[in-house]
A = this chain, B = another copy of it.
Amino acid sequence: MYVVVVYDTLAKRNAAILRLCRQYLHHVQRSVFEGALSPAQLRRFRHAVEDVIDAGYDSVLVFTFPPGTTPERQEWGIAQPAPSDIL
């Protein structure tokens, strides 16, 4: 299924969550990732995220779409920074 993930974590955990998201998904904005995951991949990703975040402070939103549908993404303003510009 297609997912969009947006995280809002304490700065000191940003690098870890960024690395983890990159293992599973495509980077589309500073703290936004998207991509297709199987249900099993999504479960593994969730467990890995829960190992990294502080569930009492950090927030990770995951939008999942019905099978066979994908979002259309518009970029208003500047296009995504080059990967090397992102941390």
Chain B residues positioned under 8 Å from A50 (CB to CB): 76-77
Give the shortest distance, in Å, between A39 (CB) and chain B (any CB): 13
Which of B31, B55, B65 interacts with A77 by CB under 8 Å?
B55
Report the copy number of this chain in the oligomer: 2
| B78 in contact with A46 (CB, 8 Å) | no
Which of B53, B60, B72 interacts with A63 by CB under 8 Å?
B72
Give the shortest distance, in Å, between A38 (CB) and chain B (any CB): 16
| B76 in contact with A4 (CB, 8 Å) | no
Closest to A1 in B: B72
Residues in A lying within 8 Å of B, measured CB to CB: 4, 6, 8-9, 28-32, 34, 46, 49-50, 53-66, 69, 71-80
